[in-house]
Every structure is written in C-alpha cells, then in structure tokens.
Amino acid sequence: MRLSTKGRYAVTAMLDLTLHGGEGPVTLAEISETQGISLSYLEQLFACLRGKQLVRGVRGPGGGYYLGRPGDEISIADIICAVDEWVEFTRCGGNQDCQEGKRCLTHNLWDDLSSEIYTFLSSITLADLVERGGLRETGCVRNKKDDGELSVREGSRAA
Amino acid sequence: MRLSTKGRYAVTAMLDLTLHGGEGPVTLAEISETQGISLSYLEQLFACLRGKQLVRGVRGPGGGYYLGRPGDEISIADIICAVDEWVEFTRCGGNQDCQEGKRCLTHNLWDDLSSEIYTFLSSITLADLVERGGLRETGCVRNKKDDGELSVREGSRAA
DNA sequence: GGTTATTCCGAGTTCTTTACTTGGTTTTTA
DNA sequence: TAAAAACCAAGTAAAGAACTCGGAATAACC
C-alpha cells in the first residue's frame, strides 16, 4: 500500500465533495483555492477518480463534480488506489522463484501487513470521516504539534 | 502518515533481523543480497534506525545488526517514522490561521485519518508479524495476483 | 601488528515521481 | 454567442528515492 501526498490530496478533495456536494456540484477551482492545489493537477487526479467512477463530472457553467456514489460506499482505500498506482513490492514473486524460502518469508510478512493496511483503509468510508469530524465542526480546533516529531493526536479514537 | 517503498525496505529489513537475530548479528551485506537493495542505501536507512535506537550495530568482522529492543516492543509505525519523515500536510496549521473554518475541517478530517493509521500501525509489532507469518513458514506460498489491480489477499485476517 | 570484515560517514549522481504549467477542446448554461 | 466549467495532452521544474563512490573507524583474527 502506498500512501503519499498525492493520495492525501485526493482524499482531502473527496472529503470536500462529501461535505459540500449537497449544495450542488463542487468545482475544481473551488477545491484548488481552498486546498491550495493547482487546478491542472487536480484535473489529473480527478481524471483518475473519474476513471474508477468515484466522481461524476458535470460540464458547463454551474457544473463541477459530485461523488460517484454515496459517501458511505467510498472507502479511503478506493480513493488512494485510484490515484496512487498499487506498486508490486516483491522482487521474487512472479518471474523469479524464491530462493531458499528465506527471501520469500519476509516478503510474505510484508504482504500480510500490506493486506491489513488495505483492509483497514477499506473499512473507513468518507461518510465515517465526516460523521466523526462533525464532532468538532464548531470552530477550528487544530492541535498544535509539540515538537514536530510525530504529531499524533492523543485519544482521537480508542483502538 | 507516509508509507512508501523506503518504509517497506526498512520494515522488510527489520523483519529479517527479527527472524535471524537469534543466530548472531545480521550483516547489511546479507540483507542487501537477500532483499535486492543496494548496500549503501541500506546503510543510510540503518543510520536512521540506529538514531532511533531501533537497531544496534556491532562493528568489526563477525559484526552486523541486532534489533535495538525485543521484537514485541518495536511497532511498524516506529520503523516507518524513523526512515520516512513525517511530513506535515496541512498548509493552514501553524503559521496561517484557517480561513472560514471550511479549509480547516477537511484538514481535521485528514488528521483524524492520519492518526488512525498511525494508531493502527503502532499496534502491530515485528513479533506479531513473525508469529502470524509463521503459519505459512513451510514452503513458499505466494498468492499470485489475479489481474494486477488490487492484489489483496482475501481473508488474510478478519477485520 | 597487520589484514580483513564490518559498521559508520558524507558528498555526490541518476532516475522516477510529484506537482505544476501551458495551451488548447469540448460541453452546456444563460 | 459568450462564458464557465469539465476535459485533454504535452512539456517542465522540483523533490525525493535509490544508488554510487570513496573513504574512515572499529574490532576480530592470524
């Protein structure tokens, strides 16, 4: 599983659609300004998202983008997979046979971990996030980082 | 949270230490050959890991690396944070005040998600992975991808 | 004490990806 | 017909990933 800034852009933009899609289509120009992402880059990201039917574009004036399906049917994994190519990590798999099993073992372990992360991200939908984020919708309560090291918010949710 | 190939290299290498650390220190040369990563690149990664006390280096002939602490006390998040810089995503946080709260909302949501992923990866230790992977230690049972789209192994663990 | 295997260190180089730019074309509303 | 939007494709700049090179320090072994 790959989780880069590109994926974050996509997730954040999709969140925007989820939040404001009820008020009509959301234009890329709006997202571009709100999130500080270049318009053309957004277009590229949305081309990927459209390809997977995660968003639906409406052309012409007054147009913009809607979610392709309800927010509770779109997982974070869906979004990330649409824009971030799922790269194959193992070098032994496929072509080459694994040498002495040892190499293969750690790769299996990684694959397991990878699957778990994917399963985890598949279990979180846009609707989940919005529902949860609504708790603090009043005001702007960003937590300041202490020393910039980890920036993990304590107790955001019990695991 | 950032999860790139760099982090994978580190996790896979650490898994190698976990698996074979009992038989004496593991050299980077061995890992380099087994995993197909260049030696100097590994050195750089291990410099990061050493900085966080995740590994302990032994110099001289017969030397190599041990885990810095027991495998059940090292989480995947520890490893990834050591090598992959934790980049701050939000542009409004810190310096600039959030504009009209809207911008801030999606960023809060992203932060929440980010925290969750972190919490999740913090809950998985090297020992966990080895224990779980041991189930298939016999032979080399890699699952072939069906169409290269998602490569998710079904039923790896019930969520 | 010298040789060798290893970690340690830093300054580069190359390649890929990210992120952006430019300049268009379609579509649709008003 | 004009304007606002999605669409599209090619190119560019910056960043990061991955690697290379050349060495230094440390410790084991002969």
- Rounded Cα distance, A82 and A67, in Å: 14
Compare CB distances from B150 to A81, A124, A144 and report the shortest one's residue: A81
Confidence of residue B157 (pLDDT cuts 50, 70, 90): very low
pLDDT attached to residue B111: 79
**What confidence tens digit (pLDDT) does each residue in A97-145 have?**
555 555 667 777 777 788 888 888 899 999 998 887 654 433 333 333 3
- Rounded Cα distance, B7 and B12, in Å: 9
The strand pair at B55-58 and A64-67 is best described as unpaired
Q: Tell which residue, B153, B128, B158, B149, has the closest CA to residue B15.
A: B128
Contact state of A149 with B86 under an 8 Å Cβ cutoff: yes
**Per-residue pLDDT at B27 exceeds 90:** yes
- Rounded Cα distance, B24 and A57, in Å: 59
Cβ atoms of A61 and A29 closer than 8 Å = no
* Average pLDDT of the residues in B111-115: 81
Nearest residue of chain A to residue B139 (CA atoms) = A101
Confidence of residue B65 (pLDDT cuts 50, 70, 90): very high
**What confidence tens digit (pLDDT) does each residue in B84-98 have?**
877 665 555 443 455
Helices (H), A22-125: 28-35, 39-51, 76-83, 102-122
Q: What does the buried/exposed string (b/e) look like for A68-78 if buried means 16 or more CB atoms within 10 Å of the residue's CB?
A: beebeebbbbb
**Per-residue pLDDT at A51 exceeds 90:** yes
Q: Which nucleotides of C are covered by protein (CB under 7 A)?
A: 4-11, 17-23, 26-30
- Rounded Cα distance, B110 and A133, in Å: 9
> B138 or B106: which carries more pLDDT confidence?
B106
How far lies B87's CA from each of A122, A150, B81, in Å?
Answer: 23, 9, 10
Contact state of A119 with B36 under an 8 Å Cβ cutoff: no
* Residue B55 CB-half CA count within 13 A: 32
pLDDT attached to residue A76: 93
DSSP code, position B61: T
pLDDT attached to residue B39: 94
Residues of B in contact with A112 (CB under 8 A): 129, 132-133, 153, 156-157
pLDDT attached to residue A143: 33
The strand pair at A55-58 and B55-58 is best described as unpaired
Nucleotide at minimal C1' distance from the B83 CA: D17
Contact state of B152 with A108 under an 8 Å Cβ cutoff: no
Q: Give A65's strand partners.
A: A26, A57
